[in-house]
């Protein structure tokens, strides 16, 4: 695929997706740089939750392919965190919207981690709205590729909602999610893995 020129890729409808797949290693480096810039804010945000509550339910959620981000990182992270302090779940937004009372408990402090390429999927916005209504101690980390999307806008000026924007070029224009998926996955791992910043950088350099 990478050996074909634009004259051959365009008729196949593959030029955009090919370019977006090829640029991913550069996006991962930019993703790490964005994480490092926000590292202090991230640590302070998680520390605040840890100090306020004995145990926090962390729900990874998203619509469509974004839902797979949570499913991808969940098994690894469950083996890395103190499960007496953090209960990790991965629940698609469609499931949250159709069964809110099964997962959103009023008296269970909850951190909703929303993964979103555009941040405009109706079920993603609805899931946030339901959680805001149902959970008394409710917090969010919004991981999105679109700074002007609805989820990003809702995070503005909300001290209980930490907005983590992905590299601008990760907002894929092709049909398949490539850089958006991998950058959001990497960000989730960077945020919740207890490894040091230096150890994380070494891993990012290795995967590139």
pLDDT tens, 55-68? 999 999 999 999 99
Task: Kindly indicate the confidence band of residue 177, based on its pLDDT and cuts at 50, 70 and 90.
Answer: confident
**Percent of all residues in the chain with a pLDDT value above 90, rounded to a whole number:** 84
Angle between helices 24-52 and 15-22 (to 10 degrees): 60
Count of other CB atoms within 10 angstroms of residue 133: 11
- What integer is the mean pLDDT of 79-86? 95
Q: How far apart are CA 188 and CA 72, in angstroms?
A: 10
Q: Which residues contact 165 (CB under 8 A, 6 or more apart)?
A: 34, 144, 145, 147, 152
For the stretch 113-171, pLDDT in tens is 999 999 999 999 999 999 999 999 999 999 999 999 999 999 998 999 999 999 999 98
Q: What is the pTM of this model?
A: 0.93
How is the chain split among helix, strand and coil, in percent rounded to 5?
A: 55, 15, 30
What dotted CATH number matches 53-74+86-207? 3.40.50.10490
């Amino acid at each position: 695929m990478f050996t074909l020129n634009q004259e051959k890729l365009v008729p196949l409808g593959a030029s955009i997706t090919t370019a977006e797949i090829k640029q991913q290693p550069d996006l991962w480096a930019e993703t790490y740089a964005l994480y490092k810039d926000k590292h202090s804010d991230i640590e302070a945000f998680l520390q605040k939750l840890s100090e306020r509550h004995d145990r926090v339910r962390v729900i990874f959620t998203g619509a469509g392919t974004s839902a797979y981000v949570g499913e991808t990182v969940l098994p690894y992270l469950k083996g890395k965190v103190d499960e007496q302090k953090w209960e990790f779940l991965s629940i698609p937004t469609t499931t949250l919207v159709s069964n809110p009372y099964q997962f959103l408990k009023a008296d269970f402090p909850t951190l909703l981690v929303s993964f979103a390429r555009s941040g405009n999927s109706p079920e993603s916005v609805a899931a946030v709205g339901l959680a805001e209504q149902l959970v008394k101690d409710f917090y969010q980390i919004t991981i999105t590729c679109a700074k002007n999307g609805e989820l990003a806008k809702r995070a503005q000026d909300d001290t209980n909602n930490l907005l983590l924007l992905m590299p601008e070029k990760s907002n894929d224009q092709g049909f398949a999610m490539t850089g958006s998926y991998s950058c959001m996955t990497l960000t989730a791992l960077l945020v919740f893995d207890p490894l040091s910043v230096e150890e994380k950088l070494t891993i990012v350099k290795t995967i590139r």
